[in-house]
Amino acid sequence: MKLKVVIEQDEAGFYTAEVPALPGCLSQGRTREEAIVNIKEAIAGWLEVMESKHAFDPAQLVEVAV
């Protein structure tokens, strides 16, 4: 899965990372690299929580590419 991540440096010098396609999926790090590692963990956690909230019938799932 590929997702776009917005990384910005805040006033305190930390790097914040946000995934616009996943509401509320945010993280940060002292360095850009740390922010990327942390946002990957946040994405995995976000997806796990969302999947657990919705029971999907595998026969109803369709994969699409855009």
The Cα 12–Cα 66 span in angstroms is 38
Q: What is the pLDDT of residue 12?
A: 96
Distance of alpha carbon 7 from alpha carbon 23, whole angstroms: 15
Q: Does domain 6-60 have CATH number 3.30.160?
A: yes
Does 34 have pLDDT greater than 80? Answer: yes
Tokens 């946002």 map to which residue?
39
pLDDT band at 53 (very low <50, low <70, confident <90, very high): confident
pTM of the complete model beyond 0.85: no
